[in-house]
């Protein structure tokens, strides 16, 4: 399958870029800014510059539209704990029992309902700690989800390790940090021979509102999560 773009452009030799869209990294925002239509509405416009012209193909989950001859692979990276929390919240069912990922309901309910993990703090405290109150089965599910070994939540299954192992070995990689999007976007633009721009506005899409409880994370729980997130760190 192909990822739809707003425009077609044939990059010059040595400058083709494959955009690697890792979920819950503001990847949709960067993708929309590049001109890709995944999770973007028709009112969202790509940004000016060379980067949107040269990023002509994309890789997102099971959609790999990039030729093996791509000169660069553009990743968006985010603090691993923040990405994990965002993914966890995204998959969590609402009070009415509905989830953004309804088509995979049976997998989702095993974590959120059957094991009663309602926040990432609870998952760590109950599902990762040795003295946690969860059953051994639920503790294994928690580890498997965070390590991306079982597809309980889409964005945690398709993690950095999945994408890195899928692209050609020794590929040239470009990085945009979620926390420094404008700075890194401009650095890449300059590297490509373009110019720096101020007050860039990136589209905001495909997010789920977090609750106050989602921002609670104890220091011990943070360490437990980091221990399981080697594929992210």
pLDDT mean over 213-232:
95
Whole-prediction pTM: 0.90
pLDDT at residue 7 greater than cutoff 60 = no
CA dist 122 and 159 (Å) reads 21
Higher pLDDT, 64 or 115: 115
Give the pLDDT band of residue 102 (cuts 50, 70, 90). Answer: low
Any residues with CB less than 8 A from the CB of 136 and at least 6 apart, and which? Answer: none
Any residues with CB less than 8 A from the CB of 39 and at least 6 apart, and which? Answer: 28, 31, 32, 205, 206
**Each residue of 30-63: pLDDT tens digit?**
998 998 877 776 666 789 899 999 999 999 998 8
pLDDT at residue 231 greater than cutoff 90 = no
């Amino acid at each position: 399958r192909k990822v739809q773009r707003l425009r077609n452009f044939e990059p010059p030799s040595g400058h083709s870029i494959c955009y690697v869209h890792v979920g819950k990294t503001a990847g949709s925002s960067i993708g929309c800014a590049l001109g890709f239509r995944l999770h973007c509405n028709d009112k969202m416009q790509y940004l000016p510059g060379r980067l949107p012209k040269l990023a002509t193909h994309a890789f997102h989950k099971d959609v790999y539209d990039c030729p093996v001859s791509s000169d660069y692979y553009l990743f968006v990276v985010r603090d691993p704990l923040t990405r994990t929390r965002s993914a966890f919240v995204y998959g969590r069912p609402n009070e009415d029992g509905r989830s953004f990922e309804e088509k995979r309901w049976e997998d989702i309910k095993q974590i959120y309902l059957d094991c009663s993990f309602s926040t990432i703090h609870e998952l760590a405290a109950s599902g990762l700690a040795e003295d946690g109150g969860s059953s051994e089965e639920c503790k294994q599910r928690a580890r498997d989800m965070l390590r991306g070994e079982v597809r309980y939540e889409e964005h945690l299954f398709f993690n950095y390790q999945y994408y890195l192992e899928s692209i050609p070995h020794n590929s040239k990689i470009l990085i945009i940090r979620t926390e420094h999007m404008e700075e890194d976007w401009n650095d890449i633009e300059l590297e490509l021979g373009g110019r720096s721009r101020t007050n860039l506005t990136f589209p905001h899409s495909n997010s789920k509102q977090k609750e106050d409880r989602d921002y609670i994370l104890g220091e011990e729980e943070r360490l437990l999560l980091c221990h399981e997130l080697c594929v992210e760190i």
